[in-house]
Amino acid sequence: MSGPVISGSSLGRVLLCPASAVLPQVGVDLEAGHRGTAIHEYLASVPVLGRDVALEQVLPEYRAACEAIDLERLPVADSEAWAAEVAWAYDPATDTAREIGRGLGRAYSDLRPGEIPGTADVVAVTDESVVVLDYKTGRMARRGRAADSLQLRLYALAAARAYGREHAVVALVHIDEDGGAWWDRAEFDSLDLDGLAAEVRGLLEQVAQESEHIAAGGIARTVEGDHCRYCPALPHCPSRTRLAAVLATGSEDAAPVLTVETAPLVLERLEAIESVAKRVRESLEIYARQQPIALPSGEVFGPVPLERETIDPARGALVLAQEFSERVALDSIESKQTMTKTRLKAALKHHVAESGEKIGALEKRAMEAIRAAGAITITTTHPVRRHKPKALTGGES
């Protein structure tokens, strides 16, 4: 078995599941990853090439996402103060780090035994501090705090050790799908950095213990969670593949590994099970509409009234033009000539800078005006779901 596979970007997952660093790894190729990479590469090239040329180099399918980014809120204008795509190698045993290159694209070929590589999106070094920024994009953009990111904390530690600083400033730069950006910031002094070094060493000790456990013939002690989604060890994870192996072999003692040979059979049997499960659920829902099913948890599986508000786009736009501006009215209409609350919120963001009001207050005012104009239709459906039944009032029986 090869040694543990650990990098700065994987530390958060390894903290939750040390076994994921020990099990065999495979490449993970996801569309969300391609989009994020395209945005990162664009932001790294803007200071060097300028916005227009950088946009030309973006693949057509990601160009609109890059073009929407508000560059004024990002540190991309001053290429002298900021450096992009800076890679380090951190050695936990000696608590030292070295810069190994810039713009390497996560190709860490010059590592020494025991070093943990990592690449920060944007870095600056002042007389007293290192400043490290990490871009987050897409649906994940509004998740996480800088102080809680083990990846970003490792980069702070590596940068501080590499450049001889005892203070670090870090920030997650959250880039929303509409191009807006907001920051979450944290600082670490010399004591904090020493604590981070001890935390990394402790994590590596856990990985070493798990490696010894597996080498001795034990089953990997994996931990399931949201971190599993992008885990490169997933095809070899006993928590995730044991049931698949049972499907393929019919044996409860099957080795929990998906292979080229077993995967087709697993898929066929799984699809057969899903087809049956779909028909069973449909039958249950039909039954539950006639006779709601009381569950041991105190919940009920049965029809639940669900109200949905539909905005009349023509009347709604008229209200928005009178209440705000014609631009807000036009921006609130989607290509299919519909108006949704999501699109309305996006349109109102343009008004935030002009009015100084908070987006929540603007949304509330807009919806109140639209309701008052009678531009909303309320429809009620009754989907079958698990739900807590409402308590009966004193006058009911």
Tell me whether strands 300-303 and 384-387 are parallel, antiparallel or unpaired. Answer: antiparallel
Of 94, 134, 91, 99, whose CA–CA distance to 116 is shortest? 91
C-beta neighbour count of 58 within 10 angstroms: 18
Tell me whether strands 181-188 and 168-175 are parallel, antiparallel or unpaired. Answer: antiparallel
- The pLDDT of residue 318 is 92
What is the band of 397 on the pLDDT scale with cuts at 50, 70, 90?
very low
Instruction: Answer for the pair 120, 86: CB distance below 8 angstroms, yes or no.
Output: yes
Number of domains the chain contains: 2
CA distance 67 to 178: 10
Q: Looking at the domain assignment, is residue 263 inside a domain?
A: no
What is the band of 308 on the pLDDT scale with cuts at 50, 70, 90?
confident
Structural domain ending residue among the three candidates 142, 176, 208: 208
Tell whether 316 and 190 lie within a shared domain: no
Question: Which residues constitute the domain of residue 50?
Answer: 8-208
pLDDT in tens, 145-157: 888 889 999 999 9
CA distance 332 to 371: 16
Q: Looking at the domain assignment, is residue 291 inside a domain?
A: no
- The pLDDT of residue 79 is 58
Read off the pLDDT of each residue in 96-107 and give the average, rounded to a whole number: 84
144 Cα distance to chain centroid: 9
pLDDT in tens, 194-234: 999 999 999 999 999 999 998 998 888 888 888 887 788 87
Residue holding tokens 């390497």? 104
Q: Is the pTM of this model over 0.75?
A: no
Structural domain ending residue among the three candidates 208, 225, 247: 208
DSSP β-bridge partners for residue 131:
124, 169
Q: Looking at the domain assignment, is residue 237 inside a domain?
A: no
What is the band of 395 on the pLDDT scale with cuts at 50, 70, 90?
very low
Q: Looking at the domain assignment, is residue 152 inside a domain?
A: yes
Q: Looking at the domain assignment, is residue 181 inside a domain?
A: yes
CA distance 179 to 31: 19
CATH of the domain at 197: 3.90.320
Is a pLDDT exceeding 60 seen at residue 307? yes
Q: Looking at the domain assignment, is residue 350 inside a domain?
A: yes
- The pLDDT of residue 393 is 40
pLDDT in tens, 8-58: 888 888 999 999 888 887 765 554 567 777 887 888 787 777 888 888 888
Read off the pLDDT of each residue in 250-271 and give the average, rounded to a whole number: 71
Q: Looking at the domain assignment, is residue 79 inside a domain?
A: yes
Structural domain ending residue among the three candidates 190, 208, 226: 208
Q: Work out the mean pLDDT of the chain and round it to a whole number.
A: 82
**The total number of residues written for the chain in this structure:** 397
Tell whether 179 and 70 lie within a shared domain: yes
Read off the pLDDT of each residue in 269-280 and give the average, rounded to a whole number: 82
- The pLDDT of residue 394 is 43
CA distance 34 to 113: 30
Is a pLDDT exceeding 50 seen at residue 392? no
Read off the pLDDT of each residue in 301-325 and give the average, rounded to a whole number: 90
Alpha-carbon distances, residue 207 vs 5, 18, 179, 221 (angstroms): 10, 5, 39, 11
Is a pLDDT exceeding 70 seen at residue 352? yes
CA distance 349 to 386: 36
Q: Looking at the domain assignment, is residue 285 inside a domain?
A: no
Type of residue found at 156: A
pLDDT in tens, 223-247: 888 888 778 887 778 777 666 666 6
Task: Return the axis-axis angle of helices 313-323 and 359-372, rounded to nearest 10°.
Answer: 120
Residues 6+ apart with CB under 8 A from 117: 7, 8, 87, 88, 89, 90, 100, 106, 108, 111
